[in-house]
Amino acid sequence: MKLDLKTPFSVLFSSKASTGKAKAKHALVLSITDSAKLGTLAAVYDKKTGGAISRALKAGKFAGKAGQVLSLVGVDGVPADRIILVGLGKESKLDNIAYENAGGHLLTHLNANGVKTAEILFESGKKAKDGEAIARVAYGARLAIYHFDKYHTKRKDELKPSLDTLTFVTPAEKDAKKAYAELEQVAEGVEFARTVVTEPPNVIYPESLAEECKKLSQFGVKVEVLNRAQMEKLGMGALLGVAQGSVKEGRMVIMQWNGAAKSKKPIAFVGKGVTFDTGGISIKPSTGMEDMKYDMAGSAAVIGLMRALAGRKAKANVVGVVGLVENMPDGNAQRPSDVVTSMSGQTIEVLNTDAEGRLVLADALWYTQQRFKPEFMINLATLTGAITIALGDLYCGIFSNSDALCKKLEAAGNATGEKGWRFPLGDEYDKQINSDIADMKNIGDGRGAGSITAAQFLQRFVNDVPWAHLDIAGMAWTKKPLPTVPKGAVGFGVRLLNQLVKDHYEK
């Protein structure tokens, strides 16, 4: 399998603006806050164009608000066939997310208008460091340009973005290059996650996704793959019970990035990788089942995170573990009321074969904490539909046995825009998964608190390790484009967890 992860356009930085005659399909971009006052650069080009920019502002079609973009076509006095004004919003509220969103809005506008090259004369606002702010604009554009046209045979060219090159003109060229070089590696991780989530399930299945993981070795990640026989020997009956209904054998992939001293304990991330989820014998309705190719988005986030951390040479010791299965309803599939024995030795009554992700994670979490003794574990999973009822597509659900870890996650979420909301855990919920014939059952009593009882199930496999569970069922896919996320796979979790590592575990 070949994944096309080539950067679709180039980002350049320069200390000098171009001069000369106007070039076709070339844009000159200026940023303006919602004060609608011309900055130093905008004033210079307003004078060169005989007041064209100030006249556009007075006309009232553009007020510098976040998300606003305006093209002035056929303006004399500049080496471009158009000037584009991009709004940043309130100067007092400018932050990394605002700059990234501005880059995303700009990128969408450039492609919609067939622009091939653009020169950005960016003014970041008084409180910002120009180099970092400009890098964030470039990063937002890079995230927004993602597209997946692999299977188009006739419309492929028209679907490709028109943009070839973005050039940022700034006196902080050195700082901008340095900041963007690191952000570009995070974008690579996000793009990897988006691509493997978007690929169809006949292309991405446990074995093929494990092969993609192996490619991380070129970035210095140590990769191990456990097959069915190896997992049977380890006693992973919970994960293997899910996998047994498919002709595609399950896999577990262990990835290690060692960027710190050997004496430093690793941190661990664990992902649910159900590459397609029919529900098994407890089969799902056919309507919407095609979406179940993204039931492996938790594993995609972990793999994408490892790609990002290795790419930017993170100074941390990090373990990524993903349990990969396909949940199918054939004659060998597990049945409702089967009892399986997990790697921990705890027994599980499987009352609903569509509550399978927690079975996969049970063995993956146990394996991770037993082998690596990590400082903490965070797992990501498209685990429950119930979380989307509670939070929609604006927040993931956070469940944790550690107040400190939870606060760090919430802060990283606010910094990146990949936000989470904490839910309760407790004995009252935990007793709802006690089984009459086994140690536990894989669903709670009744229909209420389904996301919480699922988290309680996972907590039984972490012992005393600081742990957080991110239920990302509402965050893995978007049906409407966002400023830095095209419609489709989001790659949620890569930016969030990269920020967590950067802020707290690379000191």
Task: Indicate the burial class of 397 (C-beta count within 10 angstroms; 0-12, 13-18, 19 or more).
Answer: buried
- State the chain's maximal CA–CA distance in angstroms: 83
Distance, CA of 457 to CA of 177 (rounded, Å): 46
- Active-site option among 358, 419, 441, 460: 358
Query: Is 48 in the active site?
Result: no
**Cα–Cα distances in angstroms (integers) from residue 110 to residues 74, 139, 145, 394, 489, in the given order:** 16, 15, 10, 27, 22
Q: At a CB cut-off of 8 Å and minimum separation 6, what does 237 contact? A: 340, 341, 342, 343, 363
Query: Is 65 in the active site?
Result: no
E strand or H helix at 467 = strand 467-471
- How much of the chain is helix, strand and coil, in % rounded to 5? 40, 20, 40
- Active-site option among 25, 48, 150, 284: 284
Q: 28: closest CA among 7, 42, 14?
A: 42
What phi, psi does 429 have (nearest 5°)?
Answer: -80, -40
Q: 401: closest CA among 464, 331, 472?
A: 464
Distance, CA of 430 to CA of 271 (rounded, Å): 22
| Amino acid making up residue 448 | G
Locate 459 and state its tokens.
Answer: 């907590």
Q: Which residues are catalytic?
A: 284, 358
